[in-house]
Amino acid sequence: MSRKIRLTVNGAARALEIPTYRTLLDCLRNDLGLTGSKEGCGVGVCGACTVLLDGKMISSCIALAVSADGHEVTTVEGIAGDERLHPVQQAFIDAGGFQCGICTPGQVVSAKALLDAIPNPTDGEIREWMLGNICRCTGYYKIIESIRTAAQRSRA
């Protein structure tokens, strides 16, 4: 029971045939080799698998790849420019927004989506937007600081 789908992944058109039960996360990781997105909880709670579907952040571990047919997917591999990291990525490095790194792709993609939606978020807006991205190392302060830093630099 496989099905042919077309996705635009990080700007590139991809056509593939996949089993209907393939999650979008497994499709990205196993069929397309994009292993930046991680599986943490597998039930949409932890945020490690966060990707953008038509620009909106979703949990790819509970999305079926067949349901994304015809749509645009952006993963952590697709947000940097050719020469430079995305401002959010650079800010996570500069402000120390990660330690072990397992949650970082999801944090970065969610933070990018936040700044796309709200370019100058308050700390309250950052906390609320990011509450679905769990981190067991940083205690979150450095993540909030990273996002604040990225927003400031984007303004400058």
Partner 1 sequence: MNAFEYAAPRTLDEALAVLREHGDEARVIAGGTALVTMMRQRLVRPSYLVSLREIPGLDRIEAANGGVRIGALVTHREVETSPLVRERIPVLAETFHRVASVRIRHMATVGGALAHADPNQDPPVTLIALGARVEIRGAGGRRELPVELFFRDYYESSLEPGEVVIAVVVPQFPAASGAAYVKFLPRTADDYATVAVAATVSLEADGERCRAARIALGSVGVTPIRAQSAEALMAGQRFGAEMLKAARESVKSAVDPLTDHRGSAAYKREMAAVIAGRALTQAWDAARASARGTR
- Residue 21 engages partner 1 in binding (rule: CB under 8 A): yes
- Residue 50 engages partner 1 in binding (rule: CB under 8 A): yes
Phi and psi (nearest 5°) for 31?
-85, -30
* Residue labelled with tokens 């995305």: 86
- Residue 64 engages partner 1 in binding (rule: CB under 8 A): yes
- Residue 149 engages partner 1 in binding (rule: CB under 8 A): no
Q: Strand pairing of 50-53 and 72-74?
A: antiparallel
- 17 vs 83 by CB, closer to partner 1: 17
**Hey, which bits of 37-142 come out as E strands?**
50-53, 56-59, 72-74
The residue from 14, 36, 62, 140 that contacts partner 1 (CB under 8 A) is 62
The residue from 4, 6, 30, 67 that contacts partner 1 (CB under 8 A) is 67
Which token pair is 138?
A: 């940083």
The residue from 58, 76, 91, 143 that contacts partner 1 (CB under 8 A) is 58
Q: Cβ distance 97 to 145 under 8 Å?
A: yes
Kindly state the smallest distance separating residue 20's Cβ from partner 1, in Å: 4
- Residue 126 engages partner 1 in binding (rule: CB under 8 A): no
- Residue 39 engages partner 1 in binding (rule: CB under 8 A): no
Measured CA angle at 108 (ends 8, 46), to 5 deg: 95
**Hey, which bits of the chain come out as E strands?**
2-9, 12-19, 50-53, 56-59, 72-74
Residues that bind partner 1 (CB under 8 A): 1, 3, 19-21, 23, 42-45, 47, 50, 53, 56-59, 61-64, 66-67, 69, 110, 128-129, 131-132
